[in-house]
A = this chain, B = another copy of it.
Amino acid sequence: MSVGINRYKADLRELCFVLFEQFGFSEYAGKGCYEGWDEATAKAILEETYRIAREVLGPLNSVGDREGCKVVDGRVKTPKGFADAWKQLFEAGVKQIAVRKEFGGQGGPYSLYALIEELTSGANTAFNMYPGLAWGAAEVIAEFGTEAQKKLFCQRMFTGQWGGTMCLTEPNAGSDVGSAVTKAVKQADGRYKLSGTKIFISGGDHDLAENIVHLVLARAEGAPAGTKGLSLFIVPRVRVDASGKLGELNDVQVASLEHKMGINGSATCVMNFGESGECYGELVGAAENQGLPQMFRMMNGARIAVGIQGLAVTSSAYLNALEYAKDRKQGAPFKQWKDPSVPRVAILEHPDVRRMLLELKAHVEGIRALVVKLAVHRDHYHVLAGRDDDQAAYHQGQVDLLTPLVKAYASEEAWRLCGQAIQIFGGAGFLKDWPVEQYARDSKIFSIYEGTTHIQSMDLVGRKLGQSGGANFTAFIGDINGFVEANKSHPVLGKDVERLSGAAEAFMQVAMGLMGWAQGGKVELVPLNGNRVLTMMSQLSVAWLLLDAGVKAEAALSKLPAGHADRAFYEGKRYSAQWFARNVLPNVEHLAKLAMIEDASPVEISDAAFAS
């Protein structure tokens, strides 16, 4: 078995292409809030991160999976090596790249950080959740906390001195977060006493940092029912004074750990707050009942991070399967299949293996492009905010629009494509000797936590498509149509670029159809087609961005002499684009046709008819 061996693989050439060549890093790096950043710095950081991913985090991936977490004397013990890896990761500083300088970070672009996150998450999904959650919790305090809270918590959490969690889910409040019943009672000194049970708390306890700062969603006494009455509280495991000095233990207990299909190195905790009536917390910021918008700030970041988790393991699954396919000899070449005298060849030569690999390649590159596209919009927003409000709003609108796609599409495809990577390995893929079975197991939670796929689809169709009077959506379609106009006569990819038109048109029709259903007494067709619409928009987006990459790669290729080492890389971009345009993009029009059938069978069937 591969315990303790690094199996993580990334293709830095590809990461740099997306960030620098496809999405023009230098157009915003070096400007405004990103002054001082350039490609060379970013590249060096990616190289250093990949080194840590391979040398520190990667070897612990199977260790964490086999060993899991344990509760010992009421504390969670993480797998061997995790505490040291935490230390090394924060010492290297790569997690702090996009953190504001005032909190001990480098103030770098988020787009660069998205790729750092891909590298650390892909190397060890379970481990990376601990710093990831601390980061997310610190972001909320940085955004909504009082000055004193920012001063006390942010730097410590961003730099790994303290950990952090998000405590939202309860036994009866998962997707339906508004049903949360954890109570917060205001005390005379302004603090709150909390009591309640939270479940599925990732990193609810661990031994990686000297303190853990929980952000707990609870209902203050007298607050309204539902989501409007929720507040967010800062609840440290160890009480701290204003100087950050650790004091007594707070009344926060790990009740138990879940036994899971995957991400075993990540402690999934049932947490009891205030079992002895002594759990104290403070409100994030100054006003009650702001928990939902505060939580969504955290959730949006977390949703993108989950999309990156999906991308990250799928990418490594692809590169591992590719290596295996080059090494593993089995069978004769396709055209001489039955001739036993022909020398056996690498399975990479078999057409169906190549088909599966190209399917993985195209999806991985396309989803990466979608993630980075979103991140680049966010960076442009930060550069433009306060300087060009129209343009800033456009970029923020695209971030909002693409977030559910990144979360849901990347996570759903991770399960499917990691399964396909196993298939490329054949029987070996089913064994723990190779990393792909763990990738598949780890990946199944991605489509569930931080909002299930269907919740993403409802976010898309019920909120994001119509946001700002539809302006974001219109701009999105406009970007695609502009690309088609500019490139439909491209000598290599023109015909595949043209396929975007029909798909965009079909998607628009269904998006318009949603409104008709909602207003025309067929409202059930909206949720029944929600996931379908999300898939359509995701496949349309990925096809567009792969073709965009292809066009840029062809331009680069035309400047390279024959035999140049980079030619193969750029040619690979052409094949990713054309394979996706011909084999996946047409699915958008197909799904539109299915939607137009207006089948409502799932709501027409009676409960009793599902089974005897």
Binding site for B on A (CB under 8 A): 1, 11-14, 169, 172, 174-176, 178-179, 200, 224-228, 258-262, 318-319, 322, 326, 329-332, 334-335, 338-341, 344, 348, 350-352, 354-355, 357-358, 361, 415-416, 419, 422-423, 426-427, 429-433, 437, 440-441, 444-445, 447-449, 452-454, 457, 523-524, 527-528, 530-531, 568-569, 571-572, 575, 578-579, 582-583, 586-587, 590, 593-594, 597, 599, 601-612
Contact = CB atoms under 8 A, between A and B. Distances in A.
B361 A610 contact: yes
A602 B350 CA distance: 10
A9 to B, nearest CB: 9
Contacts of A169: 427
Contacts of A335: 523
A445 B430 contact: yes
B330 A176 contact: yes
A363 to B, nearest CB: 14
B449 A568 contact: no
Given A172-B330, A225-B340, A448 B423 contact: yes
Given A226-B340, A354-B602, 10 more contacts: A172-B329, A175-B330, A226-B339, A261-B422, A261-B431, A351-B528, A351-B603, A361-B611, A430-B445, A586-B594
Given A172-B329, A430-B260, A351 B602 contact: yes
Q: Which among A172, A338, A352 has the highest number of chain B CB atoms within 10 Å?
A: A352
B423 A344 contact: no
Contacts of A578: 599, 601
A422 B444 contact: yes
B453 A423 contact: yes
B174 A260 contact: no
A317 to B, nearest CB: 13
A176 B353 CA distance: 14
Contacts of A200: 427
Contacts of A12: 612
30 contacts: A1-B259, A13-B612, A172-B344, A174-B427, A179-B331, A259-B432, A261-B440, A319-B611, A334-B527, A335-B523, A351-B524, A351-B602, A352-B531, A355-B528, A361-B611, A419-B444, A422-B444, A423-B448, A427-B448, A427-B449, A429-B448, A568-B608, A568-B612, A571-B606, A572-B605, A572-B609, A582-B594, A582-B597, A583-B597, A587-B590
A567 to B, nearest CB: 9
A24 to B, nearest CB: 21
Contacts of A426: 174-175, 448, 452
Contacts of A357: 602, 610
Given A174-B426, A176-B330, A340-B225, A579 B602 contact: yes
Given A335-B523, A597-B582, A433 B259 contact: yes
Given A423-B453, A605-B358, A527 B582 contact: no
A103 to B, nearest CB: 31
B601 A344 contact: no
Nearest to A575: B605
Contacts of A423: 447-448, 452-453
A609 B569 contact: yes
Contacts of A433: 258-259
Contacts of A527: 334, 350-352, 355
A131 to B, nearest CB: 22
B179 A344 contact: yes
A261 B528 contact: no
Shortest 9 CB-CB distances between A and B: which pairs? A226-B340, A572-B609, A13-B612, A568-B608, A261-B437, A176-B331, A354-B602, A351-B527, A225-B340
B599 A260 contact: no
Contacts of A260: 430-432, 437
Contacts of A352: 454, 457, 527-528, 530-531
Contacts of A415: 419
A178 B336 CA distance: 13
A524 B578 CA distance: 17
Nearest to A364: B611
A132 to B, nearest CB: 18
Contacts of A348: 607
A12 B611 CA distance: 10
Nearest to A577: B601
B355 A441 contact: no
A80 to B, nearest CB: 19
Nearest to A605: B575
A589 to B, nearest CB: 9
